[in-house]
Structure 1
Amino acid sequence: MNSFLQLLLSSFSGVVTEKVVGALAAVASNHLFADLYGVRLFGELQFALSLVYVVGSIALIFGAPVIAPILGKHRRLRHLIFYHTFRLRLALSFAVMMSFMAIVVLAMPVSSATALTLIAALVLTVEPLALGSLMAYAETKPWVITRAKAYASGVRVLWLLGAAHASMGAIFASFAWPLEACVAAVAPFSRYRSMAFSSPRSKPRDSIITRTLVSRGLKIWPAIAASVIVLRMDRLLLGVLMSKADLGIYAAAASLVEQWNSAGTTLALALAPSMVYVGRNEEQLRSRSVRLAFYLALVGVFGWVASIFVGQRVFDVIYGPKFEAGVSVMIYATLCAVATFADAGLSTWLVAARRYRLIMVKQGVTVASIAAAPFLMPRAFMMYSPATATAVSVVLFWAVTFGFSLHHRDRT
Structure 2
Amino acid sequence: MNSAWTGYLPGIIREWLEGRPHLRKAVGNTGWLLFDRVLRMIIGVSVGAWVARYLGPARFGELAYIIAFIAFFQVIAGLEADGFIVRDIARNQGDTGVILGTSLRLRIVSGIVCWLTATGMMYLFHPDDTQICLMTVIVGAMLVFQASDTVDLWFESQSQSKRTVLAKLASYLFANGLRVFLLLTKAPLIAFAGVISLESAALAVALFVAYRRFPTDGRWRADIVQAKKLLHLCWPLATTGVMITAYMRIDQIMLKEMLGEKELGIYAAALTLVQVWNVIPATLVASLAPFVARMKSRGETEYQDALVIIFRFFAIVAFLGAGLTAVASPWVVSLLYGAEFRSSAVLLSALVFVIIFIFQGMAQTLWVINNDVRIANLVGTFLAALVSVIANFFLIRKFGIMGAVFSYLLAQGASVVLFPCLLRRDLLTLYTRAFLGFGSRKQ
TM-score band (shorter)? 0.7 to 0.9
Q: Structure 1 residues 132, 308: closer, same or farther in 2, change over 3 A?
A: closer
Using structure 2 for the length normalisation, give the TM-score.
Answer: 0.77
- Bigger shift: 170-179 or 94-103? 94-103
Using structure 1 for the length normalisation, give the TM-score.
Answer: 0.82
Residues 79 and 235 in structure 2, CA contact (< 8 A), matched pair in contact too: yes
> In the aligned structure 2, how far is the partner of 1:288 from the partner of 1:302?
22
Partner of 2:253: 236
Matching residue's letter, 2:93: K
Partner of 1:307: 325
> In the aligned structure 1, how far is the partner of 2:73 from the partner of 2:105?
19
> In the aligned structure 1, how far is the partner of 2:71 from the partner of 2:151?
19
1:290 positional shift: 4.8
Provide Cα deviations, 1:19-76, integer angstroms capped at 9, x if missing partner.
Answer: 21232233124212211111111111111011112123222227433434444434xx
Pairing 1:6-405 to 2, within 5 Å after superposition? 8-61=26-79, 63-71=81-89, 72-74=92-94, 77-105=95-123, 107-108=125-126, 109-128=128-147, 130-140=148-158, 141-190=160-209, 206-267=223-284, 278=295, 289-290=307-308, 292-345=310-363, 348-377=366-395, 378-380=398-400, 381-393=402-414, 394-397=416-419, 400=422
Q: CA RMSD in A?
A: 3.8
> In the aligned structure 1, how far is the partner of 2:62 from the partner of 2:357?
29
Residues 148 and 184 in structure 1, CA contact (< 8 A), matched pair in contact too: yes
Q: Structure 1 residues 7, 96: closer, same or farther in 2, change over 3 A?
A: same
- Bigger shift: 209-218 or 25-34? 209-218
> In the aligned structure 2, how far is the partner of 1:69 from the partner of 1:274?
10
**5+ residue gaps, structure 1:** none
1:169 positional shift: 1.2
> In the aligned structure 1, how far is the partner of 2:304 from the partner of 2:264?
39
> In the aligned structure 2, how far is the partner of 1:335 from the partner of 1:122?
33
Secondary structure of the structure 1 residue equivalent to 2:155: coil
> In the aligned structure 2, how far is the partner of 1:124 from the partner of 1:343?
25
Secondary structure of the structure 2 residue equivalent to 1:92: helix
> In the aligned structure 2, how far is the partner of 1:82 from the partner of 1:383?
40
**5+ residue gaps, structure 2:** 4-20, 433-438
Residues 78 and 146 in structure 2, CA contact (< 8 A), matched pair in contact too: no
1:372 positional shift: 1.8
Aligned length: 402
Provide Cα deviations, 1:359-406, integer angstroms capped at 9, x if missing partner.
Answer: 334423332222221133223332323332235414433664569758
Secondary structure of the structure 2 residue equivalent to 1:168: coil
Provide Cα deviations, 1:92-131, integer angstroms capped at 9, x if missing partner.
Answer: 2122212332443465223433332222112112121x31
Q: Structure 1 residues 246, 25: closer, same or farther in 2, change over 3 A?
A: same
Residues 252 and 326 in structure 1, CA contact (< 8 A), matched pair in contact too: yes
> In the aligned structure 1, how far is the partner of 2:129 from the partner of 2:256?
18
